[in-house]
């Protein structure tokens, strides 16, 4: 009898437990309405879904690292015949790397798994500072400071952080060493990082000493300093700022680190090093990884683009004018040749602007680095006299865009083509001057400048040894417009002319230029392009044909 009581009591407890674990009359079940996997953006994100659990349940499978960026609420619950709401809160992913977590809703031997996949950030910047605004949290560590000077590194609101051990009042060069050390940079969640900065050097002994006397070092936090290689220095002593190139910080990703600008000098010569904008980015200089073409507008200067082949990409750059952004220039780029096949832009005195030449050659922010020629210095090919064979020839000339921001964009590497020095400074410069003069006498001159690479066999080499196709010829197609029709009265105020030059020396100045002139149609027949493809929509097919088939006497 006693055993029966105990058995009845045990059975009663089991019945109560079963009643507590699932609602009466329902089959044990755990299921979720969420799509598996849940794909979350890199930004902070919250996702809610329904959980059906007729048994008591809990979350299993999240480790501490995953809990640091992902929170599930609630983390457990009682059985219910009604669906329960579960929310997953996900913190922003500041790394470019994708991350994921898999966990399960578990109870009574039942399980419903769920995976969260969060995209990496597309934001490229990890850290940046402008030394024009101040010292930016950097500290100065003088290793060898002469008593005759108060400081080696100092801030200048016009030039940034400036280092020199030259004592101007006594005209002395002093031996020194001083470090400008960054704050700690957190790369613990990064998979890649690159350092770049703008700098100018002057009054050093020569360019050969720059890697030692204007060096960049890095270390893991509290670790040993190591020199960073690959800094691009200006080819000559001047106050012209240039981009340092991208210094790979891959050895420090996953950790906290610091970098330092290390200036040194000798009693023989104490140069001056100026540094302005500094940034650490997640990819190489913050450039896109793959080609993304821009959408062309219905601009009069554009050639037809519908026959662009593989490896060609249309890119357009803007510039500020009158409080708004307007087009600066556009180009069609051949990745295999590391060369813009043509550059097109409008030109008049207002678009030309006022200012000077920056000479700050830099990477084009719209073009993946792997396709660009690296031209902080000129092409590396030398002749028997150890002189540069090729200049960095602008396609849209620097002098056609003089406002500061617009001018900087003419110094993108993608706007350069290898030109022999005598051609660049000779007949080609004469034509560029004539184009500017013509543009001042009309409302707008629409310009296409391009290269001919048909039959090209020669290559130039950029600063990293990459091959760049050397054009066999250069050309310009011009469409002039005057709203008062002081010329082109029968064609809506439009007239056209074109020029083609073999890539060789010419003599004769402006007369040699005009000897190479031809109609736009003739240049199209020579090259296979359809220039000014939007002109017929403006003045009709017959008007456009008249403009492109003849050279108006106004040009002479």
pLDDT of residue 311: 80
pLDDT per residue over 53-111, tens digit each? 999 999 999 999 999 999 999 999 999 999 999 999 999 887 777 899 999 999 999 99
| Residue showing tokens 């619950």 | 77
* Cis peptide, bond prior to residue 30, ω within 30 of zero: no
Contacts of 15 (CB under 8 A, 6+ apart): none
| Res. 24 pLDDT band, cuts 50 70 90 | low
Residue whose C-alpha is closest to residue 231's, from 189, 256, 195: 195
Least confident stretch, 7-11, 36-40, 404-408: 7-11
Q: Could you say which DSSP state residue 404 is in?
A: H
* Alpha-carbon separation of residue 204 from 172, 212, 269 (angstroms): 13, 11, 6
Residue-level pLDDT at 226: 97
The C-alpha atoms of residue 57 and residue 72 are separated, in whole angstroms, by 13
Average pLDDT of 533-544? Answer: 97
pLDDT digits (tens, 9 = 90+) for 217-247: 999 999 999 999 989 887 778 888 888 988 9
Contact 282, 304 (CB under 8 A): no
CATH of domain 8-118: 2.60.40.10
Phi-psi region of 255 (alpha: psi -120 to 50; beta: other; left: phi over 0): beta
Q: Which two tokens stand for residue 332?
A: 């069609």
CB 87 within 8 A of CB 141: no
- pLDDT exceeding 90 applies to what percent of the chain? 78
pLDDT digits (tens, 9 = 90+) for 380-393: 998 888 888 999 99
Least confident of 221-230, 417-426, 439-448, 504-513: 504-513
279 backbone dihedrals φ, ψ, rounded to 5°: -145, 150
| pLDDT, tens only, 113-136 | 999 999 887 677 899 999 999 999
Confidence of residue 308 (pLDDT cuts 50, 70, 90): low
pLDDT value at residue 36:
87
Look at residue 285 in the predicted model and tell me its pLDDT.
60
Q: What is the pLDDT of residues 341-387, one digit of tens each?
A: 999 999 999 999 999 888 888 899 999 989 999 998 899 998 888 88
Region 312-555: CATH code:
3.40.570.10
- Nearest-10 Cα torsion for 446, 451, 455, 461: -170
**Confidence grade of residue 287 (pLDDT, cut at 50, 70, 90):** confident
The mean of the pLDDT values for the chain is 91
Instruction: Name the residue among 388, 396, 408 with its Cα closest to residue 463.
Output: 388
Q: What CA–CA distance (Å, rounded) separates 341 from 337? A: 9
Task: Please tell me the predicted confidence (pLDDT) of residue 12.
Answer: 36
CATH architecture for segment(s) 125-286: Sandwich (2.60)
**Omega before 74 within 30 of 0, i.e. cis:** yes
- Domain ranges in the chain? 8-118, 125-286, 312-555
Assess whether pLDDT exceeds 50 at residue 16: no
- What integer pLDDT is reported at residue 166 of this predicted model? 97
Q: What would the pLDDT profile of 464-501 be if each residue is shown by its tens digit?
A: 899 999 999 999 999 999 999 999 999 999 999 999 99
Alpha helices in 299-387 (DSSP H): 349-352
pLDDT for res 107: 96
53: number of Cβ within 10 Å: 29
SS3 label, residue 109: coil
Burial 289-298 (b: 16+ CB within 10 A, else e): eebeeeebee
Q: What pLDDT sits at residue 309?
A: 57
Q: What span, in angstroms and rounded, lies between the C-alpha atoms of 318 and 325?
A: 6
Phi first, then psi: give them for residue 419, nearest 5 degrees: -125, 140
d(CA 333, CA 343): 9
Instruction: Report residue 536: phi and psi, to 5°.
Output: -55, -35
Strand ranges (E), 453-516: 459-461, 467-469, 473-481, 494-502
pLDDT band (50, 70, 90) for residue 284: low
Confidence band for 43, pLDDT divided at 50, 70 and 90: confident
Tokens of 223: 């670790």
């Amino acid at each position: 009898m006693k055993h029966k009581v105990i058995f009845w009591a045990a059975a009663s407890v089991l019945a109560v437990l079963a009643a507590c674990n699932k609602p009466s009359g329902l089959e044990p079940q755990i299921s979720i309405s969420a799509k598996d996997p849940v794909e979350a953006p890199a930004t902070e994100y919250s996702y809610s879904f329904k959980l059906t659990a007729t048994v008591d349940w809990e979350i299993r499978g999240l480790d501490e690292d995953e809990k640091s960026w992902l929170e599930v609420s609630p983390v457990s619950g009682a059985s219910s015949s009604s669906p329960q709401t579960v929310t997953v809160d996900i913190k922003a992913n500041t790394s470019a790397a994708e991350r994921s977590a898999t966990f399960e809703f578990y109870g009574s031997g039942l399980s419903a798994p769920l995976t969260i996949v969060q995209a990496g950030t597309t934001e490229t910047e990890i850290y940046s500072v402008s030394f024009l605004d101040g010292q930016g949290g950097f500290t100065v560590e003088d290793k060898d400071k002469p008593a005759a000077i108060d400081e080696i590194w100092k801030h200048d609101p016009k030039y940034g952080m400036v280092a020199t051990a030259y004592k101007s009042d006594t005209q002395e060069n002093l031996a020194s060493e001083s470090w400008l050390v960054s704050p700690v940079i957190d790369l613990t969640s990064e998979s890649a990082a690159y350092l770049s900065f703008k700098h100018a050097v002057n009054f050093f002994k020569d360019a050969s000493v720059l890697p030692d006397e204007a060096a960049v070092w890095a270390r893991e936090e509290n670790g040993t300093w190591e020199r960073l290689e690959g800094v691009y220095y200006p080819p000559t002593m001047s106050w012209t700022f240039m981009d340092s190139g991208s210094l790979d910080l891959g050895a420090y990703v996953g950790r906290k680190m610091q970098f330092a600008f290390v200036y040194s000098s000798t009693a023989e010569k104490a140069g001056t090093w100026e540094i302005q904008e500094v940034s650490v980015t997640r990819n190489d200089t913050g450039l896109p990884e793959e080609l993304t073409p821009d959408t062309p507008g219905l601009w009069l200067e554009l050639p037809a683009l519908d026959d662009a082949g593989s490896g060609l990409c249309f890119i357009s750059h803007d510039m500020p004018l009158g409080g708004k952004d307007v087009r600066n220039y556009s180009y069609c780029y051949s990745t295999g040749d590391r060369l813009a096949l043509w550059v097109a832009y409008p030109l008049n005195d207002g678009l030309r602007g006022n200012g000077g030449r920056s000479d700050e050659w830099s990477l084009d922010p719209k073009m993946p680095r792997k396709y660009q020629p690296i031209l902080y210095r000129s092409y590396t090919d030398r002749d028997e006299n150890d002189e540069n064979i090729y200049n960095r020839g602008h396609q849209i000339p620097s002098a056609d865009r003089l406002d500061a921001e617009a001018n900087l964009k003419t110094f993108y590497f993608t706007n350069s083509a290898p030109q022999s020095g005598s051609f660049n400074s000779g007949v080609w410069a004469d034509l560029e001057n004539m184009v500017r003069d013509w543009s001042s006498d009309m409302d707008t001159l629409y310009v296409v400048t391009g290269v001919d690479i048909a039959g090209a066999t020669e290559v130039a080499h950029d600063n990293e040894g990459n091959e760049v196709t050397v054009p066999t010829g250069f050309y310009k197609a011009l469409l002039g417009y005057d709203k008062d029709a002081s010329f082109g009265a029968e064609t809506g105020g439009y007239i056209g002319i074109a020029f083609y030059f073999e890539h060789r020396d010419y003599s004769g100045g402006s007369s040699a230029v005009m000897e190479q002139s031809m109609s736009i149609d003739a240049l199209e027949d020579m090259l296979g392009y359809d220039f000014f493809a939007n002109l017929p929509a403006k003045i009709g097919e017959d008007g456009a044909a008249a403009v492109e088939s003849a050279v108006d006497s106004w040009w002479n």
